[in-house]
Chain A
């Protein structure tokens, strides 16, 4: 399997612009997670889905952030409008229900908002 695929790998944008991050989970996985990693706050869970349904979005910072999962093989995280404090590495991860249910992470998208 190709693993979790994220695009783009790097994104540089200007404040106020819309940013869309994309994720393709591992085929057959029924959980999908979006994380954000910064030096100040570490690794934070933003939202996760089970069978394409959002389960917990309590980590989404504010209304500027939205996430969708239209089908089992694709998810997006959108920031509109973007701000410099959104600069971070955004990870997508997926998992399948097992006894330990470890999460497999994608390579991340490094977002820089100028």
Chain B
């Protein structure tokens, strides 16, 4: 069975500092994809970044990067130069296999608070 674990229920970080949000996953399928979503207090889910299991390089999108360590089964999200607007819930998710399987399994999330 597939599982996503986010061990940090909450984090407080000073503005402008870098943040690392932890995510570990468990699957026996060699083909999978890992996603990070942001959920601000307004409630919508915003896609941030994607990493495929066969991707050779860590994914980056602006201030977001994914520290992908395949052997450790971890896919941590790194936010550089944090801003007040980064305060939100962050969810890690995984899709296993392809060929029509588009089911995402989500972690329990980490609530990030940026302190001015």
Interface on A for B, CB 8 Å cutoff? Answer: 31, 33, 42-45, 48, 50, 55-56, 89, 91, 93, 95, 99-108, 110
A103 & B33 in contact (Cβ 8 Å cutoff): no
A95 & B102 in contact (Cβ 8 Å cutoff): yes
Q: Does B90 sit within 8 A of A, measured CB to CB? A: no
Q: Please name all residues of chain A whose beta carbon is closer than 8 Å to the beta carbon of B95 when the two chains form the complex.
A: 101
A50 & B33 in contact (Cβ 8 Å cutoff): no
Cα separation A44 to B108 with both chains bound (whole Å): 10
Cα separation A91 to B91 with both chains bound (whole Å): 15
A89 & B43 in contact (Cβ 8 Å cutoff): yes
Of all A-B residue pairs in the complex, the 3 with the closest CB atoms, nearest first, are: A105-B45, A100-B50, A43-B106
Q: A45-B105, A105-B46 are in contact. List 5 more A-B contacts (CB 8 A).
A: A31-B102, A42-B106, A56-B101, A89-B43, A105-B47
A to B contact number (C-beta, < 8 Å): 52
B100 & A93 in contact (Cβ 8 Å cutoff): no
A43 & B102 in contact (Cβ 8 Å cutoff): no
A43 & B44 in contact (Cβ 8 Å cutoff): no
Residue in B47, B102, B105, B106 whose CB lies within 8 Å of A104? B47
Q: Please, how many residues of chain B have a CB less than 8 angstroms from a CB on the other chain?
A: 22
Interface SS, A side: strand
A50 & B102 in contact (Cβ 8 Å cutoff): yes
Cα separation A72 to B52 with both chains bound (whole Å): 28
Residue in B33, B91, B109 whose CB lies within 8 Å of A100? B33
A99 & B102 in contact (Cβ 8 Å cutoff): no
Cα separation A19 to B103 with both chains bound (whole Å): 25
Q: Which of A42, A48, A95 has the most CB of B within 10 A?
A: A42
Quick one: which of B58-116 are within 8 Å of A by CB?
91, 95, 100-109
Q: Please name all residues of chain A whose beta carbon is closer than 8 Å to the beta carbon of B100 when the two chains form the complex.
A: 50, 55
Residue in B50, B106, B108, B109 whose CB lies within 8 Å of A102? B50
Cα separation A11 to B37 with both chains bound (whole Å): 25
- The contact sample of 10 A-B pairs, CB cut-off 8 A, is A31-B102, A42-B106, A43-B106, A44-B106, A93-B45, A95-B102, A100-B33, A101-B102, A105-B44, A108-B44
Cα separation A110 to B107 with both chains bound (whole Å): 21
